[in-house]
Chain A
């Protein structure tokens, strides 16, 4: 039962994280990534098998909980904590520089997109001129 609930929590975390990641506001992207990493860490923990077993040290007799996924999850938590902190600092710097939370378009992409758009418009105008001439 508890495993099913946790599995559902993982699904919700991944879903909400993915949704937020698709937003254009940097703050939402950061929160989305945080949710995704929480989901991933929970998934690691779930990979260790059934919930409710005693820890491997001082748990007495009987089957103990698998310690490896716990160790992996702890490592992953520390790493994602550091990376998220860096991303937050970067988002703050971005806000200081631009006074906006939105992720901007790439300058070169915009250049190429506008040149194609311009060419298309020119081509259309030429067709119109040709039609008028004929």
Chain B
């Protein structure tokens, strides 16, 4: 199975979808088929690299350090598969939502373009190609976040576009500097060549890359754009952004820190950043009064946990990070989908306007409760497994302060989830104040496609509990290969 399929199929489908124009039924079928093919090919790739082999393709048949290498190892394949699953689920959800289906001509093609960009980011083995993949993802996200063009969307979309463009410029700068220092942008080649240059220069370039990817991943102190811009977009858009976009940044951090700027012992810088990201994110969430904004701040907080596992620089820590990323992508996408359903049902996401939904829509309450408890890390859900492995590996290294912070932040996360629960689901239905004029878009029945795809993802997250051991083992193997990049380098360069 060639690793180009998850990139090319959505890209071609995007062009076709644009050409189909107003034939909405055909477009829906096209999107579902294209994303199903992406998912199938990603899973096939995962099965192919499970034993530790690395699949590579050199685009245009140029030899490796000069041509663009597409490289899929186990970590890439895991990310590709989870991303493809989310892309498919949210696409079905979007078909059900009135804001993103036949009312706009641009959602379907741009969404498929986003899918292509995300897959390309995970599959590339070339630093400059990673920049291009980021740009494909970002340009699609610019369109999606301002879809509709209302005043708040333009206001918050502008912040998002400006900060993303700044990050891209810094990325080009970093690539220019790394090329000037080593004469290559191929990541496998850089892996050995970066070790030969002046350590001070290497550190400077490393920090610059951390800033670039840190903006994308929304780590402290570079996260301010995220809670500002995500909540205003349409529900399916926010769901897929929350699940995937910041994780593309986290993927890039993990890849660059393990392959390019490897360290033998734990990184104090990363551990401090992780602790601050967790704390500031969750404190921000507690101050908010809107379901989508609370959840957005939690993205920031959760990114801290992933950086924590990486900062330990042990196989166990990295394995926990891989597991955490997979768990988080599923849970966070689901939570935002439920948030969208709440909004769809009542016309608002503000806690002070909601209440009593436990009586009016008990099924929705169940759909929220499972991922919410999982996010906080309540046993036996996947969040518990993820946090447990993370904390165990933290204790092995002796990073007691960060472990303490992680545990404390978990309690605050639970508190913040109960705040949503109390505000949205508890209370008598008629206690909630009436909506202002013009906002009464209450729907007595929710679209079955939206509820169905959300329920399917909640089901998938429950499967995580059953399959936690084999999944963690898979993460551990991926971490082992990340920790020893010899095989990756050999597969790309052929030596």
Contacts and interface: CB of A to CB of B under 8 A. Distances in A.
Nearest to A83: B165
A112 B176 CA distance: 42
Interface in B427-474: none
Nearest to A26: B158
Nearest to A18: B166
A107 B177 CA distance: 39
B172 A107 contact: no
B179 A36 contact: no
Contact of B179 (A69, A82, A108): A69
Nearest to A103: B158
Nearest to B128: A72
A46 B135 contact: no
Interface in A21-70: 21, 26, 29, 33, 36-37, 39-41, 43-44, 46-48, 68-69
A121 interface: no
A87 B176 contact: no
Interface string B135-161: 100110011001001011011111101
B contact residues, range: 35 or more
B139 to A, nearest CB: 6
A75 to B, nearest CB: 7
Interface string B297-325: 00000000000000000000000000000
Given A43-B173, A83-B168, A108-B288, A29 B179 contact: no
Interface of A: 21, 26, 29, 33, 36-37, 39-41, 43-44, 46-48, 68-69, 72, 75-76, 79-80, 82-84, 86-87, 90-91, 93-94, 97-98, 103-104, 106-109, 111-112
Interface of B: 66, 128, 131-132, 135, 138-139, 142-143, 146, 149, 151-152, 154-159, 161-162, 165-166, 168-170, 172-173, 175-177, 179-180, 185, 228, 287-290, 293
29 contacts: A26-B158, A36-B166, A36-B169, A37-B168, A39-B169, A39-B173, A40-B172, A43-B173, A47-B177, A75-B128, A80-B165, A80-B168, A82-B139, A83-B138, A83-B139, A83-B165, A84-B165, A86-B142, A87-B161, A90-B157, A90-B158, A90-B161, A91-B158, A93-B146, A93-B154, A94-B154, A97-B151, A106-B156, A106-B228
